[in-house]
């Protein structure tokens, strides 16, 4: 690829195109831009710029012949598909007061999209709306989208930077480009084939204002040559977003006299083509984009492992109803960081439980409830060896298949005199003695969503009154996010059920609009007289003033757990345990996304409810506008007891 490669990176951001003027010799245009210039594709007009349907009708007596450049035969179908993005005529204005221009615009738009679809182009670049009002433009595009097969429509949106980054939508002289995009996509019903091509000129907005685009369906960044150098001084998140979020790069404009300082020496070598002909004038800029791309840090091992899971919706586990498969156990067991933290917590608990002078005479009873295939049993015995404490372990596991593996492990390691395997549900087992320490790994992405409270409450009867639970507490967190891809994936099912389901997902193309806030907390052992695990929480989120308006598609959920003392484990972004991959975030969608304007707060309600056979969540937004209460009575999503 022209932009080079980085270890383990499979993002599409390596592809770079060039915006061109109209050229009736398309094969030469491709040869010059791709073979000579090194670009991957061209963004090229499909129609003669002077073409107007009203003029053709007058001159041709109403035949309506289309003066396209050449024919579809000038390139092979694969060349059209792989190397050409159609550029819809920029003069088009479907919201013009001039009726002739408006009618011409609609006719031309439909003709060009039809021609592009005939050529099997993967995408077409639509011109930017000409003002705040874009209703007729959006209506026409929405009509086209209803009959479009696989082609994407990229709406060109200038990335506007105001003087003070204040996105006051009531101001007459300021147009927030996000507001224009939002109005357009709402009119088009969030169609999944409508995306954004952000037109980046010579400046960037604030980090918060730029950040709200991270969760939008941005497919391309059109970078003008005179603004390329700003990426050297841009905040790291701007570069990361452009180069790691499957965004195609399109270079636009004419060569300027001064290349950005610190580009690459090789740029100077492309003033002439390798075949001796004149080189592409923007080739040095392509080399500079490659330099910006390659200077970024390689993806860490964890990120490379998670590439295939990015923004992929998964149903949460049902650990009580279903027995885990070997592949699931294996994935979780590879997370060494998690078990290192557990071992640290068990070490501290053993040292607190048994003084040095009693180390050789006191045996600590430790029960691993939900032992799986034995990783916590191993961590417990390693902690005992590290601290010099004596241990008697009960490994309680309800999955009979995992119990087979446990027996094999105990025999292999020679633990027969230390470890007793119990094939039973922890809630129904009658223990022969009380435990000093109770260890479990029942946490879900939202902390309590795999029924850790119910399981540990049931197991607490065989923990001594002064016994220790690891984990000792855990708290769930939520934060509002823009997540166009996740929303469209849920929407594609065309039912309420999927909008009322919480999904486990490695969130990537999202904008986190406000810091996360705590929701529900559970503590173990639970000595409270009120044993109910039902909960209710009302939260209010404020987004920074310089962000501007933003769309809330749902909520990302996390957890943070205290294992014991100061040893913690979690995925809440501000305190997340580094290099741990056992848990992805959880995503609670909204049936109708909420547009949040500057100065307004988002009021959210979350409930944890339970019945005789199931536990479920309900959630709702009440401000700035009210949403339905999602998942009432657990009608769509629940966890079985």
Residue 170 has pLDDT above 60, yes or no: no
Question: Is 411 annotated as contributing to ligand binding?
Answer: no
Confidence of residue 295 (pLDDT cuts 50, 70, 90): confident
Residue 451 has pLDDT above 60, yes or no: yes
| Residue 412 sits in the same domain as residue 489 | no
Report how far residue 147's alpha carbon sits from residue 489's, in angstroms, rounded to the nearest whole number: 19
321 versus 118: which is more confidently predicted? Answer: 118
Residue 557 lies in a domain: yes
| Residue 384 sits in the same domain as residue 484 | no
Report pTM: 0.89
Residue 68 lies in a domain: yes
619 contacts 605 by C-beta, under 8 angstroms: yes
Question: Is 637 annotated as contributing to ligand binding?
Answer: no
Size of the chain in residues:
641
Domain end marker among 422, 441, 460 = 441
Give percent above pLDDT 90 in the chain.
66
Catalytic residue among 450, 454, 500, 572: 450
Tens-digit pLDDT profile for residues 181-192: 999 999 999 999
236 versus 559: which is more confidently predicted? Answer: 559
How far lies 201's CA from each of 161, 224, 288, 549, in Å? 9, 5, 16, 21
Report how far residue 541's alpha carbon sits from residue 559's, in angstroms, rounded to the nearest whole number: 18
Confidence of residue 50 (pLDDT cuts 50, 70, 90): confident
**What contacts 183, CB < 8 A, 6 or more positions away?**
132, 134, 138
Angle at which helices 336-353 and 375-387 pack, to 10 degrees? Answer: 50
| Residue 433 sits in the same domain as residue 478 | no
Question: Is 10 annotated as contributing to ligand binding?
Answer: no
Residue 288 has pLDDT above 90, yes or no: no
- The position carrying tokens 């980085």 is 6
Mean pLDDT of the chain: 88
463 contacts 524 by C-beta, under 8 angstroms: no
Residue 169 has pLDDT above 60, yes or no: no
Burial of 177 (0-12, 13-18, 19+ CB in 10 A): buried
| Residue 503 sits in the same domain as residue 546 | yes
* CATH code (residue 479): 2.70.160.11
Average pLDDT over every residue of 361-373? 96
According to the model, what pLDDT value does residue 380 have? 97
Report how far residue 274's alpha carbon sits from residue 25's, in angstroms, rounded to the nearest whole number: 22
First to last CA, the chain: 52
| Residue 485 sits in the same domain as residue 612 | yes
> Can 99 be counted among the known catalytic residues?
no
Residue 388 has pLDDT above 50, yes or no: yes
* CATH code (residue 204): 3.20.20.150
Residue 276 lies in a domain: no
According to the model, what pLDDT value does residue 627 have? 95
Average pLDDT over every residue of 251-273? 60
Average pLDDT over every residue of 221-234? 78
Catalytic residue among 19, 179, 441, 500: 441
Report how far residue 343's alpha carbon sits from residue 337's, in angstroms, rounded to the nearest whole number: 10
Residue 637 has pLDDT above 90, yes or no: yes
Average pLDDT over every residue of 607-630? 96
475 contacts 521 by C-beta, under 8 angstroms: yes
According to the model, what pLDDT value does residue 594 have? 97
**What contacts 19, CB < 8 A, 6 or more positions away?**
42, 43, 87, 222, 250, 251, 252, 253
Average pLDDT over every residue of 72-80? 89
Average pLDDT over every residue of 261-278? 48
| Residue 430 sits in the same domain as residue 492 | no
DSSP string, 423-483: ES-TTT---SS-EEEEE----BTTBSTT-HHHHHHHHGGGEEEEEEEES-EEEEEEEEEE-
According to the model, what pLDDT value does residue 165 have? 42
**What contacts 186, CB < 8 A, 6 or more positions away?**
595
| Residue 49 sits in the same domain as residue 132 | yes
**What contacts 639, CB < 8 A, 6 or more positions away?**
316, 318, 320, 321, 449, 450, 451, 614, 615, 616
What Rg value do the Cα atoms of the chain yield, rounded?
Answer: 30
Residue 285 lies in a domain: no
According to the model, what pLDDT value does residue 313 have? 94
Asked if the peptide bond before residue 624 counts as cis, ω within 30 degrees of 0, the response is yes
| Residue 72 sits in the same domain as residue 204 | yes
Report how far residue 66's alpha carbon sits from residue 72's, in angstroms, rounded to the nearest whole number: 13
According to the model, what pLDDT value does residue 171 have? 44
Residue 347 lies in a domain: yes
Report how far residue 224's alpha carbon sits from residue 506's, in angstroms, rounded to the nearest whole number: 33
According to the model, what pLDDT value does residue 271 have? 45
Confidence of residue 61 (pLDDT cuts 50, 70, 90): low
> Can 441 be counted among the known catalytic residues?
yes
Report how far residue 372's alpha carbon sits from residue 351's, in angstroms, rounded to the nearest whole number: 26
449 contacts 586 by C-beta, under 8 angstroms: yes
Structure tokens at 137: 């433009």
| Residue 555 sits in the same domain as residue 498 | yes
Report how far residue 244's alpha carbon sits from residue 13's, in angstroms, rounded to the nearest whole number: 6
| Residue 399 sits in the same domain as residue 496 | no
| Residue 490 sits in the same domain as residue 435 | no
Report how far residue 616's alpha carbon sits from residue 610's, in angstroms, rounded to the nearest whole number: 6
244 versus 436: which is more confidently predicted? Answer: 436
Residue 277 lies in a domain: no
Confidence of residue 68 (pLDDT cuts 50, 70, 90): low
Question: Is 167 annotated as contributing to ligand binding?
Answer: no
Report how far residue 234's alpha carbon sits from residue 204's, in angstroms, rounded to the nearest whole number: 8
| Residue 485 sits in the same domain as residue 608 | yes
Tens-digit pLDDT profile for residues 468-526: 999 999 999 999 999 999 999 999 999 999 999 999 999 999 999 999 999 999 999 99
Question: Is 397 annotated as contributing to ligand binding?
Answer: yes
Residue 575 lies in a domain: yes
- Range with lowest mean pLDDT among 132-141, 196-205, 225-234, 428-437: 225-234
Beta bridge pairs of residue 435: 463
- Bridge-based pairing of strands 473-482 and 419-423 is unpaired
- Range with lowest mean pLDDT among 35-49, 88-102, 368-382, 399-413: 35-49
According to the model, what pLDDT value does residue 421 have? 97
According to the model, what pLDDT value does residue 358 have? 95
According to the model, what pLDDT value does residue 71 have? 78
8 versus 399: which is more confidently predicted? Answer: 399
Tens-digit pLDDT profile for residues 1-16: 345 444 555 554 568 9
According to the model, what pLDDT value does residue 146 have? 94
Question: Is 342 annotated as contributing to ligand binding?
Answer: no
> How many domains are contained in the chain?
3
Tens-digit pLDDT profile for residues 511-557: 999 999 999 999 999 988 788 999 999 999 999 888 899 999 999 99
According to the model, what pLDDT value does residue 290 have? 82
Full domain range(s) for residue 203: 12-161+171-221
Report how far residue 495's alpha carbon sits from residue 487's, in angstroms, rounded to the nearest whole number: 13
* CATH code (residue 382): 3.40.50.150
Residue 66 lies in a domain: yes
According to the model, what pLDDT value does residue 131 have? 79
């Amino acid at each position: 690829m022209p932009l080079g490669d980085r270890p383990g990176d499979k993002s599409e951001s390596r592809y770079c195109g060039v915006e061109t003027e109209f050229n009736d010799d398309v094969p030469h245009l491709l040869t010059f831009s791709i073979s000579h210039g090194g670009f991957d594709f061209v963004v090229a007009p499909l129609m003669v710029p002077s073409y107007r349907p009203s003029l053709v009708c007058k001159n041709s007596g109403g035949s309506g012949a289309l003066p396209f450049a050449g024919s579809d035969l000038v390139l092979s179908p694969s060349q059209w598909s792989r190397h050409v993005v159609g550029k819809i005529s920029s003069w088009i204005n479907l919201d013009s007061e001039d009726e002739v221009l408006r009618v011409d615009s609609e006719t031309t738009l439909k003709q060009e999209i039809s021609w592009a679809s005939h050529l099997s182009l993967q995408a077409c670049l639509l011109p930017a709306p000409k003002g705040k009002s874009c209703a007729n433009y959006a209506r026409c595009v929405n009509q086209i989208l209803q009959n479009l097969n696989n082609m994407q429509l990229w709406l060109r949106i200038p990335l506007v930077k105001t003087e003070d980054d204040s996105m006051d939508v009531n101001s007459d002289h300021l147009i927030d480009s996000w507001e224009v995009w939002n109005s357009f996509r709402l009119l088009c019903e969030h169609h999944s084939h409508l995306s954004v091509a952000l037109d980046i000129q010579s400046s960037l907005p604030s980090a918060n204002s730029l950040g709200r685009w991270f969760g939008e369906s941005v497919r391309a960044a059109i970078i003008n040559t005179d603004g390329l150098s700003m990426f050297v001084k841009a905040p790291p998140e701007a570069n990361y977003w452009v180069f790691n979020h499957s965004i195609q790069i399109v270079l636009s404009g004419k060569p300027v006299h001064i290349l950005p300082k610190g580009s690459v020496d090789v740029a100077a070598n492309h003033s002439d083509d390798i075949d001796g002909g004149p080189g592409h004038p923007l080739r040095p800029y392509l080399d500079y984009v490659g330099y910006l791309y390659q200077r970024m840090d390689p993806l860490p091992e964890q990120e490379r492992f998670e590439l295939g899971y990015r923004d992929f919706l998964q149903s949460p586990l049902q650990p009580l109803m279903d027995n885990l498969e070997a592949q699931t156990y294996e994935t979780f067991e590879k997370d060494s960081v998690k078990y290192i933290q557990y071992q640290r917590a068990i070490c501290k608990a053993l040292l607190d439980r048994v003084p040095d002078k009693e180390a050789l005479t006191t045996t600590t009873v430790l029960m691993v409830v939900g032992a799986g295939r034995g990783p916590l049993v191993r961590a417990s015995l390693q902690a005992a060896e590290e601290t010099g404490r004596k241990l008697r372990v009960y490994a309680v596991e309800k999955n009979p298949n995992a119990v087979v593996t446990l027996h094999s492990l105990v025999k292999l390691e020679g633990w027969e005199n230390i470890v007793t395997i119990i094939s039973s549900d922890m809630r129904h087992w009658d223990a022969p003695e009380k435990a000093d320490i109770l260890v479990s790994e029942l946490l879900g992405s939202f902390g309590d969503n795999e029924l850790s409270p119910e399981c540990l409450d049931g197991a607490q009867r065989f923990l001594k009154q002064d016994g220790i639970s690891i984990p000792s507490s855990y708290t769930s967190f939520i934060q509002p996010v823009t997540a166009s891809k996740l929303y469209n994936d849920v929407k594609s099912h065309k039912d309420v059920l999927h909008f009322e389901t919480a999904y486990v997902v490695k969130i990537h193309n999202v904008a986190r609009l406000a810091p996360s806030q705590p929701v529900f907390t559970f503590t173990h052992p639970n000595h409270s007289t009120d044993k109910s695990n039902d909960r209710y929480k009302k939260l209010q989120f404020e987004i920074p003033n310089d962000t501007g308006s933003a769309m809330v598609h749902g909520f990302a959920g996390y957890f943070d757990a205290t294992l014991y003392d100061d040893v913690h484990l979690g995925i809440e972004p501000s305190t997340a345990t580094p290099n741990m991959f056992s848990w992805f975030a959880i995503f609670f969608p909204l049936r109708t996304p909420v547009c949040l304007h500057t100065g307004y707060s988002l009021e959210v309600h979350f409930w944890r409810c339970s019945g005789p056979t199931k536990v479920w969540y309900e959630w709702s937004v009440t401000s700035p506008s009210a949403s339905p209460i999602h998942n009432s009575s657990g009608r769509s999503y629940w966890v079985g007891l």
